[in-house]
Structure 1
Amino acid sequence: MNNLCRSVSKLPAHPAFRIATGKRLFATQTVRRQSTSTESKEKIVIPARIERGPTDILNALSSTVGYDPTAPHYKYHDDPYLMPMSNVGKKTFAMAQEAGRKAARWIRQENAKLFRHQEADPPIPAFAPTMVYTEESQVEETDLRRLIENVEVQDAILVYNLLKKNNIEVGQELKQSLLELVCFFNHEESLEEEYIEERWFRQGVTEKGRQRKTWKDFELAEQLFHEVQEKRPEHYCVLIRGMAKYYQVEKAWALYQETIEKQVLLDTTTFNSLLQIASFLKESYD
């Protein structure tokens, strides 16, 4: 009320004007007090939590920005003086950038003693140097299982041979997993998924070149297969698919004939792999 009186006292001297203005100010003060008391009595309701993924905010932001078809690819420098213009230059730039990453990883692996610091918490295994196995390493069955899960083909083969040398029994399921690994990658290290450019370049070279037999005969895959006393359908399926993938046509077809004689049931994927090499049966792939 004191504020109201001060406001009215400062108004012009006309009586009618002062009365009308005072009424408006009084009504305004009353409405404010009523709204304040009403807001204090309202109950605050917290809405239910909405589950969101780690990239939902980024997707929402990206949806507000349109795609520019004239912009360079994100792997190139967004600079007209540094961005390659020809297809050969683009491929060279991308492969050189990927080769630099591979060189950095090689230096880290070869000098593992110098890179023992772990800044990530919790630690990220992919950023740490990998375990080095030698002929003198003391290994267990769990080491072989971990290598198979991490798709480390050469180390898995070495550890399996060490287990066999030390007379350590390996379970049948683990042998089956190892057989699937070596058949799929043909006893060679797989190219990591992050090397997209090299993977694309290899695929292009393979498609352009003539398909030929690259299956490694008499290696661990065939040894594991022959070591199994009671062969199940999955053993035949894995080996036939591996041989068909790397164009060992004669042996794959011979195994298929063996399954017919022994009445072994094969899955659809195995039959599809045989159909892909059916046209090469009469040719020599040596």
Structure 2
Amino acid sequence: MDPTAAHYMFQDDPFLMPRNAANSRLFSLSKESGRNAAKYIIKQFPQYFDKTFAEPNIPCLMPETFTPQIEGVSEEALKERIHLRRVKDSVDLFDQLVQAGTTVSLETTNSLLDLLCFYGDGESTPEKEKEEEDLEEPGVNASEQKAPKRQFQRGSQSSGSRWRENNNAERIFKIMPERNAHSYCTMIRGMVKHGASAKAYDMYIDLLNERHKADVHTFNALITAVPYLKERFLERWELAKVFLNHMAQQEVQPNLLTFNALLKTLRRCGGVGRSMSLLAIKEMEALDIEPSLATYDHLLFIFYRGADLCPSGIISEVLDDVEKRSFTPQDPDDGMDFSISALFKLGWKANFFGTAMQVCCDLKDIKLAYQLNKAMEKGDNWKFLDMDRLNAYWSKFFSLLCMMEQIDVVLKWYKEMSPSHFYPTPKNILDLLQALDAANHLEAIPSVWEDMKQLGFNRRQDLLQELLSLMSREQHPEEIQLAFAKCAEDIKAVYEQSVREQALLEWTGSALGHVALLFSRAGRTQDAWNMMERFQQINRIPTDQVMEEFLNCAKQTNCPDEAIKLVKLAAALGLPSSQRLKSRTEKEFELSEKQK
């Protein structure tokens, strides 16, 4: 890999190469949006893309047909529209068949219910085809006895119920002459998917009363809905246990998604979740079910949530397992949905590598971070990180490196990681500056300033203040001072341009003092004096250190006129140091009678 090259997804157009994380996100969203726009045009206007002849004709390579081919009102036409995911047309055709007295088979009606419950009674769109459950992770109460901040409503999800009352799915279900287990299970899963958890639970009771058995997918959905059915932590676990016992009674074999749904619910069961989650993992081992990345993500969240951190034993065992495997997606929560709708979602989405790296940062354990990084690079595991997650992952890793590693190691990683792996955030740059300061390696600051300009951070007030403060703290060899003065010149230009544009960046007394001091130490007397005059313009008073350094510069360059200007400025500002500066000027400079 070329460490100076950007991510491979940007190589097709160097002109649009992003400079920072925000630009890279915009670029990836634009590419995905373009793909979705093309799919929409092809699907909505198929008549403009009907040139499908080819010689020889290979059907499997021909474009998919999105327009119905069967005319008239018949069950075959209904099946075709269901297959094409035309929700409204399917419902209309079903109603016409019923009104004509035609009996629709149970299998076809169940297929229609599948379609309606999947799309929530709305029309199929490219976004909805990739849509996932938008489940937020609201803050969990510290104690079950503590009242929640907002009123709990049974069966309602935090994102708002999207299951309309008496919608087409419910209406068709009610008029079905016969129903089987598939009919009930489809309705339950649709209600859970679209936020009507209480209705799903009632439908499950009806299923039991009709002496039907639910399938494993239905139980998985019901276990996921538990946090929206019960308020107290213990009640949630008890209800989840009821569903698990029903699975055993109905001889339904649990799968990976069952345990992931259980762990997802235990994330929101407080202290109960910690004790029961390990039992769930042991049960998985007993059934010879291999965990997925979502399993480990749920487990880490349960044990390392917020400030309540467990010892590193749990994450060490998790990483020992993860680094031995190359994972493939097995659960929607494994985190491999990189569609534009997922990028725009505000809800929670599993991200094992990001969660694990955050735990390493919280524990301040660099060895665990190295172990995690090794696991991420094994096989195809890196594919579980899209651009946003990849940038967040490396950003956390780099902050931990700055905190715990030697400066040579930090700079080596920095050179290899940016921009091939990630775009540093302002916090990463601040962490790097602090690491350089702690290691007394400030000669690297000019190269960091060049990166800041490239990343578009040259107008960040906090970074500029930190940069100037570090460069002006101590006297350095002449070569370094000249490089620092060049940086100060660039920063001065940024401030001046910002002032002209009336932007948010304005001169402060400390920034003026640092720039004047850096010019003085580099022997740039005229530039330093220009900064001294700026103090009067913005009604600020220079510090004694700045005055003394300017006087030293004037002495070094043998400029008595500049020294006299400084004495006049100090007198005009009424500074106590004016007398001392006057005495130094008289002693250290050869003055003419007029100057005296």
For the aligned pair, the TM-score class normalised by the smaller chain equals 0.5 to 0.7
Partner of 2:192: 244
Distance 1:229 1:70, change over 3 A: farther
Partner of 1:96: 30
- 3-state SS of paired residue (1:84): coil
1:75-94 aligned at under 5 Å gives the runs 75-94=9-28
**What CA distance in whole angstroms lies between the structure 1 residues aligned with 2:7 and 2:123?**
29
1:25-174 aligned at under 5 Å gives the runs 72-108=6-42, 111-120=45-54, 121-122=57-58, 127=63, 130-131=66-67, 138-174=72-108
Assess if the C-alpha contact under 8 Å between 1:72 and 1:78 holds in 2.
no
Shift of 1:204: 9.6
**What CA distance in whole angstroms lies between the structure 1 residues aligned with 2:217 and 2:187?**
12
Distance 1:207 1:76, change over 3 A: farther
Partner of 1:228: 176
**What CA distance in whole angstroms lies between the structure 1 residues aligned with 2:192 and 2:120?**
11
Assess if the C-alpha contact under 8 Å between 2:106 and 2:179 holds in 1.
no
Distance 1:77 1:140, change over 3 A: farther
| Alignment gaps of 5+ in structure 2 | 139-157, 232-596
**What CA distance in whole angstroms lies between the structure 2 residues aligned with 1:203 and 1:72?**
30
Shift of 1:142: 1.6
Assess if the C-alpha contact under 8 Å between 1:153 and 1:190 holds in 2.
yes
Deviations 1:86-117 (A, max 9, x none): 33322322332333334444445555444432
- 3-state SS of paired residue (1:257): helix
Q: Which runs of 4+ in 1 moved over 6 A?
A: 67-70
2:218 matched to 1:270?
yes
2:204 matched to 1:253?
no
Deviations 1:114-141 (A, max 9, x none): 44322443356973663279xxx73422
Which of 196, 211, 214 is the aligned partner of 2:159? 211
Assess if the C-alpha contact under 8 Å between 2:207 and 2:213 holds in 1.
yes
TM (normalized to structure 1)?
A: 0.58
Shift of 1:226: 1.2
**What CA distance in whole angstroms lies between the structure 2 residues aligned with 1:139 and 1:87?**
54
Distance 1:211 1:109, change over 3 A: closer
Shift of 1:274: 1.6
Distance 1:282 1:270, change over 3 A: same
Deviations 1:18-58 (A, max 9, x none): xxxxxxxxxxxxxxxxxxxxxxxxxxxxxxxxxxxxxxxxx
Shift of 1:174: 0.5
2:110 matched to 1:176?
yes
- 3-state SS of paired residue (1:127): coil
Partner of 2:424: none
Assess if the C-alpha contact under 8 Å between 1:180 and 1:238 holds in 2.
yes
Percent identity, aligned pairs only, is 31
Distance 1:170 1:125, change over 3 A: farther
Distance 1:107 1:247, change over 3 A: closer
Assess if the C-alpha contact under 8 Å between 2:189 and 2:218 holds in 1.
yes
**What CA distance in whole angstroms lies between the structure 2 residues aligned with 1:177 and 1:144?**
10
Distance 1:112 1:241, change over 3 A: closer
Task: Provide the aligned length of Structure 1 versus Structure 2.
Answer: 209
Which of 229, 236, 245 is the aligned partner of 1:281? 229
Distance 1:165 1:83, change over 3 A: farther
Assess if the C-alpha contact under 8 Å between 1:214 and 1:246 holds in 2.
yes
Shift of 1:75: 3.9
Distance 1:107 1:73, change over 3 A: same
Deviations 1:250-273 (A, max 9, x none): 211222222343433222322222
TM (normalized to structure 2)?
A: 0.31
User: Which structure features the higher share of helix residues?
Assistant: 2
**What CA distance in whole angstroms lies between the structure 2 residues aligned with 1:93 and 1:115?**
28
User: Which structure: larger Rg?
Assistant: 1
**Which shows bigger deviation, 174-183 or 160-169?**
160-169
Assess if the C-alpha contact under 8 Å between 2:192 and 2:200 holds in 1.
yes
Distance 1:204 1:221, change over 3 A: closer
